[in-house]
Structure 1
Amino acid sequence: MNRKEFLYTSSTLIGGLSLGRIPFPAFRQSIRIGLITDLHYAERDTPEGSTRFYRESLKKLSECITVMNREKVDFLIQLGDFKDQDDPPEETETLAYLRTMANELSHFNGPIYHVLGNHDHDSISKQQFLDGVTISGFNHPKSYYSFDKNGFHFIVLDANYTATGEAYDHGNFDWKDANIPQDQLEWLRKDLKRTRKPTIVFVHQRLDEKDGNANYCVRNASAVREILEKAENVTLVLQGHYHPGDMSTINGIVYYTLKAAVEGSGLENNSFAILEIDKKLEMNVIGYHKTESRLLRS
């Protein structure tokens, strides 16, 4: 039995079945999730030779919200690098960019969630970012957390730590040095043990290591994947950070990297998507503009 068959069979047993944890859920709905990543908003010009149009990301976010409200998705999540900074950076301006984007995002008519990216700590701290956004259901938002919706379990991870476990703060990091510290790994193990619901993980940096993409990956990605695989109920990991986008499958888990919204001028170069998951765990991406629509299989 593969992972998808296991998840579908176990979640449809009448009355549930205990396997030393909590009973399997007897009913699960379908779900539709709005996705956008790597907006990198700042009121700055595009450097020569760059394809990042920072100040246009506000309009791109606005278009995304209009679509998500029209489509009535169950929630909207941004996968990191929500904003950027000036060159040279100034903390007050960076916080202003964060407020501008958070205010625009508040026009979405539903629950909102955030994943923290490396640029969300460029000239501010982790706590300053969290204080500037709303994460639905949390009065005091944390950088990693979990929640349930429509019979699914969702986990948000934060890989913005150095190899020594120090949190990214005011630019004290190398973007190629992303790590999930030991205390968060222990939290992840415990969180997964508490649920048998089909589980989806959100993270900014990639967990699917491939030849040539190591700089975009969490350094201890293999340790994270081992935890996800042992849980046996994780079906999908959604990522940002790697602007061209990508997809792979490792040991039955799909790793889908959404294309960056900041790349390219004009709304025709926007990028966002709706992820639809039905009761049989068929996963379908409906892409907008640069993001292609595709069926994801686990």
Structure 2
Amino acid sequence: MTSFSDLPILRFGVVADPQYAAREPHVGMDRHYANSLAKLSEAIEVFNGEELNFVITLGDIIDRDFESFDDILPVYDRLKHENYFLLGNHDFAVAADRLADVASRVGLASSYYSFVRQGWRFIALNGNEVSTFAPPEGHARREVAARRLGELRAIGAANAQDWNAMPDDEQFAWLSHQIEDAAAAGERVIVMNHYPVYPPNEHDSWDRERMIALLAAHEHVAAYFSGHNHAGNFGTLDGCHFLNFKGMVDTENENTFAIVEIRTDHIEVRGFGREDSRTLTLRR
């Protein structure tokens, strides 16, 4: 018999990198863009059969072209649960005159935000602010991005890639305040961003060092969830779990998504398809 203490505090679905587009597959990268509509439909059917608090997609909803949103967003409309998005680099692979419309097209009043469920604060970042692709052409953040990318290339950093990015200083300060506010409210925290930061990988956010230092220093920060690296990744540092979910767009037929259950002393990740199942022990 299951006791009350054994029941999940909350449960939610996770999708990473559907990266849909009505285009031919990239066979060399094993990316099958058009097939993501069927894979996402399958994931939503599973989610709709479960009691979930919400579902979140960790960026790269589309691969390219603003019109791609017209095909994939109606699939999400079938979801019976509360639905959240955060943005990835490919979501900005649109015409220059549509860059400013990306966040609103997926229903975001702000490109980064937080929400609280059952004593847990979920912080969704916009990791694209300082980049060579997301700010409007001529914006000062593009210049900051070029400098940062140059600095990383000068030291031979593996993540010195123009398809990576980072939040600006204002958003990072906001994240710090959110973490402090959560501590004051007695809440635990999960941070979510398109870009991973740990273990070290070529897909990491350009500010991985400051992000890791911030998260690992606070015992009430339980985990950092990301996408972007379609192969997936996982590591634990000072008790904080860094989980990079695998990309749905990869492979012709195999799917990948997850249901996360938060319990009193651990987080249970139930993987579907290529996604691994794992248990994440809470550090306090």
Please, what TM-score do these two structures have when normalized by structure 1? Answer: 0.78
> Partner letter of residue 63 of structure 1?
E
Cross-structure match for 1:227? 214
Query: Which residue, 99, 104, 127 being the options, matches 2:70?
Result: 99
Instruction: Report the Cα distance in structure 2 between the residues aligned to 1:297 and 1:67, rounded to whole angstroms.
Output: 26
Counterparts of residues 56-75 of structure 1 (less than 5 Å): 56-75=35-54
Partners of 1:162 and 1:177 within 8 A in 2: no
Partners of 1:283 and 1:296 within 8 A in 2: yes
Q: Secondary structure at the match of 2:217?
A: helix
Matched, 1:132 2:111: no
Cross-structure match for 1:199? 189
Q: Secondary structure at the match of 1:193?
A: helix
Comparing 220-229 with 285-294, greater Cα deviation is found at: 220-229
Cross-structure match for 1:274? 259
Residues 84 and 169 of structure 1: CA distance in aligned 2, closer, same or farther (over 3 Å)? farther
Partners of 2:268 and 2:280 within 8 A in 1: yes
Cross-structure match for 1:154? 122
Instruction: Report the Cα distance in structure 2 between the residues aligned to 1:230 and 1:202, rounded to whole angstroms.
Output: 17
> Partner letter of residue 221 of structure 2?
V
Structure 1: runs of 5 or more not aligned: 1-27, 86-93, 136-140
> Partner letter of residue 253 of structure 1?
C
Cross-structure match for 1:111? 82
Q: Secondary structure at the match of 1:237?
A: strand
Residues 209 and 292 of structure 1: CA distance in aligned 2, closer, same or farther (over 3 Å)? closer
What is the root-mean-square deviation of aligned Cα atoms in Å?
A: 2.2
Partners of 1:121 and 1:169 within 8 A in 2: no
Residues 47 and 169 of structure 1: CA distance in aligned 2, closer, same or farther (over 3 Å)? farther
Counterparts of residues 1-298 of structure 1 (less than 5 Å): 30-85=9-64, 94-124=65-95, 125-135=98-108, 141-162=109-130, 167-169=134-136, 175-196=162-183, 197-210=187-200, 213=201, 215-266=202-253, 269-278=254-263, 280-298=264-282
How many aligned residue pairs are there? 250
Structure 2: runs of 5 or more not aligned: 1-6, 146-160
Q: How much has 1:46 moved relative to structure 2?
A: 1.0
Partners of 2:8 and 2:261 within 8 A in 1: no
Q: Secondary structure at the match of 1:49?
A: helix
Partners of 2:89 and 2:164 within 8 A in 1: no
Residues 48 and 224 of structure 1: CA distance in aligned 2, closer, same or farther (over 3 Å)? closer
